[in-house]
C-alpha cells in the first residue's frame, strides 16, 4: 500500500501540473460567445449545436507581420479572440516576425508557458529566473530548434541574423496575456512617479523622464 506521504506528494504534483495551464474543459465544446453579456473566468459558451468549423479556424499565419516599428518585431496572436473554439482548451499560438536585429522585448505571459520553434533565420532567446538568483538562461537558436519559456518568467528573443527571422510559438493558455516590462514600468497610464522609478532603477528623474517619453 502506498504511503500517505506518497499519495499526498502525487496529489500536490498533480495540482501543480494542472495549475500550469488553463483549467480542463468540462464539455466537448465551449465556443466563446465573445460578444455575450455573461462574464466568467474565460468566455461563456455558445450552444454546442451552433458550433461551426469557422469557430475552430484561423487563416493568416502565412502572412509576415509588419516589423516597421522601433523594436523591429511583430507578434501575430492566434488565441481565443481569433479562434473562439479555443475557449476553455488551455492552448493558443502566435507567429513572431523579426527584422534583422529586431527584438521581442523582455516580457512575461501571466497565464502560459511558451514553446517556440524557429522556422526562418536564427534567434538569440533567453529567460531570467525569479529573485534572488535572477539567472539568465539563454541560447542561440537555428531553424528547427525549439525552446521553452516557463510560465510567468521574463523572457525575450532577438534576431541575430542579417535576414528576417520567423518563429512559431505555442502557449498553454487560450489567453496567455502579455506584460512587456518596459511598457508596464515606463509606459503605464497614468505614469508611475518619476522619483519612485529613479530610486528603483538607481538613476535620476531626468533619465526616467527621457525613458518614459519613449513609451
| Numbered residues of the known binding site | 104, 107, 109, 114, 155
> What count of Cα atoms within 13 Å lies in the side-chain half-sphere of residue 52?
4
User: Does residue 27 touch ligand NAG according to CB under 6 A?
Assistant: no
What are the CA-CA distances from residue 37 to residues 7, 23, 33, 85, 135 (Å)? Answer: 42, 22, 9, 18, 44
Q: Closest separation between CB of residue 211 and ligand NAG, Å?
A: 22
Spatial contact of 199 and 163, defined as CB atoms under 8 Å apart: no
> Minimum Å distance from CB 186 to ligand NAG?
21
Q: Whose CB is nearest to ligand NAG? A: 66
Q: Which CB, 135 or 214, lies closer to ligand NAG?
A: 214
Q: Which is nearer to ligand NAG, 35 or 62 (CB)?
A: 62
Output 68 or 189, the one with its CB closest to ligand NAG: 68
Q: How far is the CB of 67 from ligand NAG (least distance, A)?
A: 8
Burial 27-66 (b: 16+ CB within 10 A, else e): eebbbbbeeeeeeeebbebbeeeebeeebeeeeeeeeebe
Least gap, CB of 15 to ligand NAG (angstroms): 45
Helices (H), the chain: 4-19, 181-186, 194-200, 205-214
Distance CA 21, CA 91 (A): 8
The CB-of-73 to ligand NAG minimum distance in angstroms stands at 12
For residue 152, is the peptide bond before it cis, meaning its omega torsion is within 30 degrees of 0? no
- Residue 86 and residue 94: Cα distance in Å, rounded? 13
Binding-site entries for Mn(2+): 107, 109, 114, 155
Grid coordinates of 165:
527571422
Residue with cell 497565464: 111
Judged by CB under 6 A, which of 14, 66, 138, 207 binds ligand NAG?
66
Count of residues that interact with ligand NAG, criterion CB under 6 A: 2
Q: 42 vs 102, which CB is nearer to ligand NAG?
A: 102
Q: Exactly one of 68, 134, 189, 213 binds ligand NAG (CB under 6 A); which one?
A: 68
Residues that bind ligand NAG in the complex, under the rule CB under 6 A: 66, 68
Amino acid at each position: 500500500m502506498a504511503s500517505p506521504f506518497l499519495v499526498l506528494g502525487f496529489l500536490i504534483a498533480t495540482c501543480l501540473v494542472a495549475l500550469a495551464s488553463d483549467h480542463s474543459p468540462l464539455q466537448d465544446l465551449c465556443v466563446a460567445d465573445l460578444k455575450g453579456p455573461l462574464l466568467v473566468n474565460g468566455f461563456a459558451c455558445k450552444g454546442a449545436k451552433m458550433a461551426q468549423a469557422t469557430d475552430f479556424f484561423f487563416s493568416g499565419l502565412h502572412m509576415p507581420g509588419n516589423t516597421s516599428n522601433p523594436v523591429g518585431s511583430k507578434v501575430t496572436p492566434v488565441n481565443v479572440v481569433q479562434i473562439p473554439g479555443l475557449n476553455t482548451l488551455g492552448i493558443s499560438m502566435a507567429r513572431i516576425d523579426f527584422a534583422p536585429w529586431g527584438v521581442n522585448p523582455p516580457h512575461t505571459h501571466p497565464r502560459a508557458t511558451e514553446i517556440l520553434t524557429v522556422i526562418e533565420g536564427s534567434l538569440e532567446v533567453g529567460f531570467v529566473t525569479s529573485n534572488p538568483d535572477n539567472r539568465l538562461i539563454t541560447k542561440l537558436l537555428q531553424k528547427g530548434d525549439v525552446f521553452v519559456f516557463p510560465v510567468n518568467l521574463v523572457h525575450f528573443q532577438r534576431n541575430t541574423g542579417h535576414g528576417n527571422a520567423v518563429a512559431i510559438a505555442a502557449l498553454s493558455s487560450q489567453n496567455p496575456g502579455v506584460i512587456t516590462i518596459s511598457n508596464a514600468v515606463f509606459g503605464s497610464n497614468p505614469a508611475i512617479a518619476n522619483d519612485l522609478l529613479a530610486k528603483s532603477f538607481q538613476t535620476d528623474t531626468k533619465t526616467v523622464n527621457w525613458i518614459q517619453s519613449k513609451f
